[in-house]
Structure 1
Amino acid sequence: MTESLADAITAAGGPVTLLRNAQAAPTVFPVRSEFSNWRSEQRAWRESVALLDQSHHMTDLFISGPDALRLLTRVGVNSFAKFSAGRAKQFIAVNHEGFLIGDAILFHLDEGEFDLVGHPMVIDWVQFHGETGGYDVSFERDGNSIVRSGDPKLYRYELQGPNALALMEKVTGAPVPETRFFHMADFSIAGHRVRSLRHGMAGQLGFELFGPWEEGDTVRDAIIAAGEEFGLVLVGSKAYSSANLESAWVPSPLPAIFTGEQTDEYRAWLPARSAGSLAGSQSSENIEDYYVTPYDLDYGRSVAFDHDFIGREALEKIAENPARHKVTLVWNADDVVAAQRSMLEEGTPAKYIDFPKARYGLYQVDRVLRDGAEVGISHDAGYITNEQAFVSLASIETAHAAPGTEVTVVWGEDPVSAKPAVEPHRQVQIRATVEPAPYSRFARENYRR
């Protein structure tokens, strides 16, 4: 019998203890780590064109049936008033108290047929409500390559960079039609129908291409052959895992599933293996101190009060005066170097800062201070070659979120947890400067163009 999350929490003595000492890896991208080196691969989506393989690390939940749209409308904070087939959106869900469950990309493939793609947190939440809420829907779930037996149902490739359009026109042999952001179009590549989502990463033009798995190698080979003259660079998991830092997307905030209305039933339904792991200097035993709202991550633009959804009443109150704002924190170079130098000095070193991504739990939550007082949390940290900066994405109290504000990130755990990615270390404080999110001006001005 599969252990439920509820049982695992009881056995551990609480959700924070369970998550802090979880033996799961932080995040695994089951694709080649580097094709050349992650620095050159990061540069490719800014300078030429990058090909990223998304086929293996995400979960697909295919949703169909007469009540599919009704279910999504009930669970999602987004507006579905004009969500026709051939479009996609960043699907966002909250619990009844307005705290974030998670987000994923929702594709409206055909009339009454949807594909919800991303990390499992929000996918699990949607499936739970569909199975327990009396909806006439069908689910087909295709987990990532870590948990799946056999091949994926779909290949999924990402083409990003200033040369992406020219490459697409060469490999398809036709002009690329004008397609709005997050709208879909169909192409023919190597004799196969390829579906495409007009996407963008770090402000660059991009296409997310997908189709039946058995056609994926042929399509990929054709893209690589056509891409040689455009400087196509294959991107591995190291560089890909850091791409969110340029677009300012927080990939895995801790889901607000441990307290609140109807979450008892959900934790009894959810397998314990779906719990994830918690890392960082935030050490509160109150799990709600790790929650965020959509407004903390600047998702307020996606919240639509044009329909009844789980958490609407709570979000209406939160929207009147959002407490936090998403920012980029640019870490002080001297302090980063000092933390790394401690690995070569006597005594207990600082927590190792990995490059290009420094996250050591699925949910990374670090304290952010100003003049010694807590003013927010830092979510995800890493190095951006294109800016030559080490940064983190953070949710900061609005009064302290102005660009140029000096803050401090507390790095490392105290006490040190038992997670596999954590070695004996000491906490250190790293100075940081508040900057906009996205940090790159080009990304800020061009992401949704």
Structure 2
Amino acid sequence: MTRESLEAKIQRIGDPIRMLRHSPHGPYKMKYPPVHSNWQEEQQAIRKTAVLFDQSHHMTDVYFRGPDVTRLLSETGTNSFATYGRDKAKHMVVCNPDGLMIGTAVLFGLEKEEAVLVGPAGAANWVQYQAETGGYDVEVHRDERTEDNPGRRRVFRYEIGGPQAWNILEKVNGGPIPPVKFFTMTELTIAGHPVRGLFHTVIGDPGSDSKGMEIFGPVEHGPAVLDALLTAGEEFGLVRAGGLAYYSGSIETGYPAQPTPAIYTGEWLKAYREWLPGDWYEGKLSVGGSYASDDVEDYYVSPYDFGYGHLVRFDHDFIGREALEEHATRPHRKKVWLIWNDDDVVDIYRRSLFATKDRPKYLDTPLGRYARVHHDAVLAGDRLVGISTQCTYTVNFGSWFSAAFVDEADAKDGADVTLLWGEENGGTAKRNVEPHVQTPIRATIRTSRP
């Protein structure tokens, strides 16, 4: 039986936004325990001691090997590749010819002619398509996330961060770790096995006392490395944490997750949609929230309106460059944190649980995510001034909050706005969305991390 393409799936359903907003899938299923102890202590450990996340299962790894690897990456990514090479990493952004985002992923430079893109598969799928159709001397090998993988993953990935993380890493390494630049990799030995570590501060406080590292190596060494990290971490209060702390911690840093891939329309992109299987990332994506439009293009964003303008560099030619040069001159939305009003949140809980009619959308605690991509409307009076993305409660903030993008003129610290919670017409057809009514939540803008 021939595999249905994304283009065929869109034509069968009749409309891409109907496919996305009424997707039956909800958030992605993944082999990621929600908690190992309790999410409150796991969240606290990010700020107070150290935390370890097992990221071996929920991300897709796509490997690119060959003489044209760097050229391929440079011609598809908005990032600068002037200093790229072995042991260098990037938060890679890829766009369509109109300068609108297709996706992001973490790029690891493994060797001179080998790299891997790790994360949600939207960005890697686009790069793979260019590799196979653009005349590049590059081989592509996919290692699907565990949920979609019929075999065994190739590598383990453990993220460790927090104020005590570096002490744990040096103890398990058997000595000091040489200075490592941000988003650069180094080599360590753990439990007698060579591993590589990417230095970053994706979780925890962004200060100098909150160094973190993502450690990876052959999957067969994973159990021994994990045991060594946990044993070394006992002295320093290391907490093993699950998916709830992982995702809520990333929202603390302002991480908005992924955009709606700007690939569902346009004649130039039709060949790509015909290449994409309908059951890959783009075909199973779910879009939810109170912001609703009949035109899928209203969900597309440029890097400048998604907080990634600093990842666009015009020192090389790449897909979408000309359009982004024009985008750069426009007013942009600004990334902010929305601190939700406690009384309004309590009212959501009360009415969603105990009201006999007109119940609001239930607020799953601590992570209120019911679609893969969230677009909640942010209002100033009756004006739409922005979009709220992922929302959560953490004990570190002591409140509910979300990462949002607000029009620059309205992005004033301390300004009051309203977030509209819940979907139109009583809720879309996503299986995990119960019948409900839309409900306003008062919120306060914070332009820097609380």
With the length of structure 1 as denominator, give the TM-score of the two structures. 0.96
Q: Distance in 1 between matches of 2:268 and 2:66?
A: 24
- Aligned partner of 2:250 in structure 1 is 244
Contact 1:29 1:237 survives alignment (8 Å): no
> For residue 243 of structure 2, what is the amino acid of its counterpart?
S
- Aligned partner of 1:149 in structure 2 is 150
Structure 1 residues 13-52: aligned runs within 5 Å: 13-52=14-53
Q: How far off its partner does 1:260 sit?
A: 3.5
- Aligned partner of 1:131 in structure 2 is 132
Structure 1's consecutive aligned runs of 4 or more residues displaced over 4 angstroms after TM superposition are none
Matched, 1:383 2:383: no
- Aligned partner of 2:439 in structure 1 is 428
Q: Distance in 2 between matches of 1:162 and 1:302?
A: 27
1:402 to 407, 412, 416: 412
Contact 1:368 1:374 survives alignment (8 Å): yes
Q: Distance in 1 between matches of 2:250 and 2:49?
A: 18
Structure 1 residues 37-116: aligned runs within 5 Å: 37-116=38-117
1:291 to 300, 313, 329: 300
Contact 1:64 1:138 survives alignment (8 Å): yes
Structure 1 portions without partners, runs of 5+ = 441-449
Q: Distance in 1 between matches of 2:387 and 2:394?
A: 20
Matched, 1:358 2:368: yes
Q: Distance in 1 between matches of 2:213 and 2:35?
A: 21
Q: How far off its partner does 1:151 sit?
A: 1.7
Q: Distance in 1 between matches of 2:268 and 2:225?
A: 45
Structure 2 portions without partners, runs of 5+ = none
Contact 1:351 1:412 survives alignment (8 Å): yes
- Aligned partner of 2:173 in structure 1 is 172
1:89 partner SS: strand
Q: Distance in 2 between matches of 1:186 and 1:134?
A: 34
Contact 1:99 1:294 survives alignment (8 Å): yes
> For residue 419 of structure 1, what is the amino acid of its counterpart?
K
Q: Distance in 1 between matches of 2:420 and 2:337?
A: 15
- Aligned partner of 1:327 in structure 2 is 336
1:243 partner SS: helix
1:320 partner SS: coil
Q: Distance in 1 between matches of 2:255 and 2:407?
A: 18
> For residue 328 of structure 2, what is the amino acid of its counterpart?
A
Matched, 1:371 2:378: no
Structure 1 residues 202-281: aligned runs within 5 Å: 202=204, 203=206, 204-260=210-266, 262-273=268-279, 274=281, 275=283, 276-281=285-290
Contact 1:100 1:294 survives alignment (8 Å): yes
Q: How far off its partner does 1:259 sit?
A: 2.3
Percent of aligned pairs sharing the same letter: 45
> For residue 393 of structure 2, what is the amino acid of its counterpart?
Y
> For residue 445 of structure 2, what is the amino acid of its counterpart?
V
- Aligned partner of 1:443 in structure 2 is none
2:325 to 285, 306, 316: 316
Q: Distance in 2 between matches of 1:322 and 1:147?
A: 40
> For residue 407 of structure 1, what is the amino acid of its counterpart?
V
- Aligned partner of 1:301 in structure 2 is 310
2:183 partner SS: coil
Q: Distance in 2 between matches of 1:146 and 1:207?
A: 25
